[in-house]
Each structure stands twice: as structure tokens, then as C-alpha cells.
Amino acid sequence: MRSPAVTRVEEETVHVVDDDEAFRDSLVWLIEAADHRVRAHASAEDFLAACRPDMAGCLIVDVRMPGLSGLELNDRLHEMGIDLPTIVVTGHGDVPMAVEAFRKGAVDFVEKPLDDAYVLSRIDLCLARDRERRRLEGRNRTLEARLATLSAREREVMDCVVAGKLNKQIADILDISIKTVEVHRSRVMEKMRVTTVAELVRISLEVGAAHRNGG
């Protein structure tokens, strides 16, 4: 599934952050039963100390902890530009907390005691999302790399093609011969590894979206 272009930095890991040792340990036991790699952290601070920007996997964090709470941890990760899918675990009746969790954009919210099937399914979902995220990130990086190989003239020609101009119009705009436009155009299609104009348009949109999203 993984894109071959993405470098494998870290194994996909489920990070469990909870101050209650017994609960933490039991959760590790449960998640390991589903053949996931699990790392346990006793506090949000411990996790922050261990986390890296290129982490892969997801986060299960208790909403109430001494020191940083689960939601505060989520904020902190966001500030650091780490976009790890997060499941917030709450005790009984913490409805306002749950609302807050959703508002902050946490992926999910589960209540203690945990329904094992539900939790594991949400973990799978999170991991899938993370994978997708990382795939997109990887693809963007590839496309960017390909774009970078284009010459300035080729880039101008591509922008015109994507904008739907005909070769003759492009020749007029850029004040070059149609023959030259055709040469540049075939070089662009080759460098960007596409065969149709439609594909070129899609790629250009994806890269543009990634740029707009501040990637």
C-alpha cells in the first residue's frame, strides 16, 4: 500500500497516554491483541518529550491528567505541526469535555469503560487516516520534486496548458513558435510522468491544494 517514494521513518505505532498505570497497561494489552505496535506514556509531558514530527500512527489520550490534559496535549501537538490522529478517552459523564474534544478537531472520542471492538475499530480508522495523510504528503512531495525539474519556459507552457489554452494561443502568449510549444509540452508531459492533459490538470490542482493548506 505504501508509496515506494515515502521514506520509512518510523513504524506505525499507537501511542497510549494515561496517568493511571493499570488502565494504561491494560489498554496496551488490548491494543496489542489487535497486532498493533503500542507505546505507553505516563503523561502528556512524557509523550511530548518522545514525539517527533515524522511520527506515524495514532494517539489515544486520557482527557483528565495531572499536568497537561489530553486536550491541552492536542493543542500543543497542533502548534508543533504534528498532525497525529487522536482518540480522546473520557471518564463517565464528561460531556462538555467531549464537545470540546470534537471542536478541537480530535478524531474521536470514546468513553470509559471502553468497548473493545469499537476502540479497536476507531484505532484502525485512525491508522488508515494517518496512512492516507502520509501517502498524500508523500505524493505531494513527489509531484513537487517533478515540478522542480521543469525549466521556467516549460513551467509557463504547463500553466497555460492547465489553464486550457491551445498550442497556437500559447505560442502567441509566450511569443514563441507553435513548434517550440509542442516540444516544451511533450517535455512537460514526460517530466511530470503523465500521458493526458486531464492527469496534468489533476496533479497541478493537488499541488496547489497542498500549497494552499500550508503544507
Chain residues binding another protein by CB under 8 A are: 19-20, 22-23, 25-27, 29-34, 64-67, 91-93, 112-114, 116
The residue (of 35 and 175) whose beta carbon lies closer to another protein is 35
CA distances from 112 to 11, 88, 115, 118, 131 (A): 28, 10, 8, 12, 27
The residue (of 74 and 204) whose beta carbon lies closer to another protein is 74
The residue (of 75 and 116) whose beta carbon lies closer to another protein is 116
**C-beta of 19: minimal distance to another protein in Å?**
7
**C-beta of 112: minimal distance to another protein in Å?**
4
Q: Could you give the CA distance from residue 18 to residue 28 in angstroms, rounded to a whole number? A: 11
**C-beta of 65: minimal distance to another protein in Å?**
6
The residue (of 89 and 107) whose beta carbon lies closer to another protein is 89
Q: Could you give the CA distance from residue 37 to residue 163 in angstroms, rounded to a whole number? A: 46
- For residue 78, what are the contacts with CB-CB under 8 A and spacing of at least 6? 105
Phi, psi of 161 (to 5 degrees): -65, -45
CA distances from 197 to 168, 170, 172, 180, 211 (A): 16, 15, 20, 18, 21
The residue (of 91 and 208) whose beta carbon lies closer to another protein is 91
Please, how many CA atoms are within 13 Å of residue 37, restricted to the half-sphere of its CB?
9
**C-beta of 51: minimal distance to another protein in Å?**
22
**C-beta of 27: minimal distance to another protein in Å?**
5
